[in-house]
Amino acid sequence: MSRFVSADPKQPLLLSGVTHIGIDEISRKRGHVYVTNVYDLKSRRLLWSGEGRAKETLEGFFDWFGKERTEQLEGVCCNMWQPYIDVIKARAPDAILVFDKFHIVQHLTRAVDQVRRDEIREKGKDHKLLMTKTRFIWLKNPWNLTDTQWARLSDLEHLNLKINRTYLLEEAFRKFWSHTYAGWAKRYFNRWFWWATHSRLEPMRDSAWMLRRHQADLMNYFRMPIHNGTVEGFNNKAKVISHKTYGFRTAKSYIRNLYHCMAELPLPKTVHRFV
């Protein structure tokens, strides 16, 4: 059973007007030890944090948040972690569930990296030498590549490698979110899905089928174009909080520090007056 630490739920000023939330987990320490954080996407602050990332963890948030406030939610943005999806659909059925773009691209880049490793294993030592120091060329956003990396990528693209075909499929999917209308985006997704499933690249084919299973919720982005960009920034801040203290022994202490630094809690009235 997960344990929860939260701010005082009897703070109406802190929780009034919350309509769009972002949900994400962050690793607290090594060994897949997580806390689940819930953020207000409009005011850009931490609302709640709980230990773990199981169903009961997010259930704890909705129990704390209350039925009346939950009914006011218009949009919920999260990754494709099934326990989160199940709880959101059960507890906030009227809110629009939107999958975060960052996590979808992250799934696709994992497929790219898996193909790179598989191809090295298949082709042996000479191919491993060819691919030395290229991992981040395939995984970085194109606009973040240096001139040297661009030149190396250009050379590799002429070799008709499996990794290059996977990379092109991953980059092609990014165009999905650039469409103005949901109908156009759906047609593009169906075309991309055909490319991916006929590519003979198993990791990318598996990713394509995963997206197909969640297609209805994937299309919700065009009803409510929200994302967890703010959440990713806060996650980085949460990691800095932990690094500054060289880690916390317990989740309880860690969560209290997250509230202190990111929840914009009301400060107590001071008893001293400085002149």
What is the spatial distance between Cα 94 and Cα 91, in angstroms, rounded to a whole number? 9
* 107 and 213 inside one domain: yes
CATH for 75: 3.30.420.10
Q: What is the pLDDT of residue 235?
A: 78
Helix locations, the chain, DSSP H: 12-15, 55-65, 67-71, 82-91, 101-123, 125-130, 135-139, 147-157, 162-173, 182-197, 202-213, 215-218, 229-244, 251-262
Say whether pLDDT at 5 is over 80: no
Q: How many domains does the chain have?
A: 2
126 inside domain: yes
Q: What is the pLDDT of residue 120?
A: 93
Say whether pLDDT at 193 is over 50: yes
Which residues constitute the domain of residue 129?
102-218
In which region does residue 51 sit, left (phi positive, over 0), alpha (psi from -120 to 50) or beta (all else)? beta
**Beta-strand pair 4-5/75-78:** unpaired
The DSSP-derived string for 52-65 is S-SHHHHHHHHHHH
Average pLDDT for 124-136: 89
- The 10 Å Cβ neighbour count of residue 59 is 18
Say whether pLDDT at 169 is over 70: yes
**Beta-strand pair 45-51/4-5:** antiparallel
Q: What is the pLDDT of residue 245?
A: 63
* 109 and 214 inside one domain: yes
* 114 and 169 inside one domain: yes
Say whether pLDDT at 224 is over 60: yes
Say whether pLDDT at 176 is over 70: yes
In which region does residue 268 sit, left (phi positive, over 0), alpha (psi from -120 to 50) or beta (all else)? beta
Percent of all residues in the chain with a pLDDT value above 70, rounded to a whole number: 89
Q: Structure tokens of 60?
A: 């704890």
Q: What is the pLDDT of residue 273?
A: 58
Say whether pLDDT at 262 is over 90: no
Helix locations, 131-225, DSSP H: 135-139, 147-157, 162-173, 182-197, 202-213, 215-218
274 inside domain: no
Q: Structure tokens of 115?
A: 């193909």
pLDDT digits (tens, 9 = 90+) for 86-119: 999 999 999 999 999 989 999 999 999 999 999 9
176 inside domain: yes
pLDDT digits (tens, 9 = 90+) for 34-50: 889 999 998 888 999 99
* 33 and 85 inside one domain: yes
Q: What is the pLDDT of residue 4?
A: 42
What is the spatial distance between Cα 17 and Cα 164, in angstroms, rounded to a whole number? 47
